[in-house]
Amino acid sequence: MNTRIIFASEEEKRNMKIQDLALDFAKRIVELYKELRYNAKEYVISNQILRSGTSIGANVSESRYPQSDADYLSKMNIALKEASETEFWIMLLRDCHYVTVELADSLLNDCSRIIKILTIVVRKVKNRIK
């Protein structure tokens, strides 16, 4: 498995907003998908991780223009759930030896960063709505 699926540096990631992190992560997931499909000949998990990994950014993007606080919260909650699902697929790919531990750790680190940010956002919005 190719470990070149890295876009932004760690320094750049520290200064990114959630929408930029989610986009960078989605690009990495698309590259991973291509690697899995064409080099590893893996089709089921690759489809699942493509859906969940790119859905994070799509929902964060949708949340930028909410109809209400509840709509914003819903989109960010969905993004959080998709990030959690993506984390599962990455661990499964690692444990089944479809990706290197190095690549999985890098993806898991980014996914964890996104989950932490989304968790904080969801918590803050829930408290504000109460």
pLDDT at residue 5, rounded to an integer: 59
Q: For residue 109, is it within any domain?
A: yes
- Return all residues near 75 (Cβ < 8 A) that are at least 6 apart: 59, 60, 62, 63, 66
Question: What is the model's pTM?
Answer: 0.89
Q: For residue 1, is it within any domain?
A: no
pLDDT at residue 1, rounded to an integer: 53
Give the residues of the chain that fall short of pLDDT 70.
Answer: 1-8, 11-13, 15
pLDDT at residue 4, rounded to an integer: 56
* Structural domains of the chain, count: 1
pLDDT at residue 129, rounded to an integer: 87
Q: For residue 94, is it within any domain?
A: yes
Q: For residue 7, is it within any domain?
A: no
Q: For residue 59, is it within any domain?
A: yes
With residue 117 as reference, give the H or E element that holds it.
helix 101-129
Domain that holds residue 46: 13-129
Q: For residue 24, is it within any domain?
A: yes
What is the CATH number for 98?
1.20.1440.60
Contact 118, 108 (CB under 8 A): no
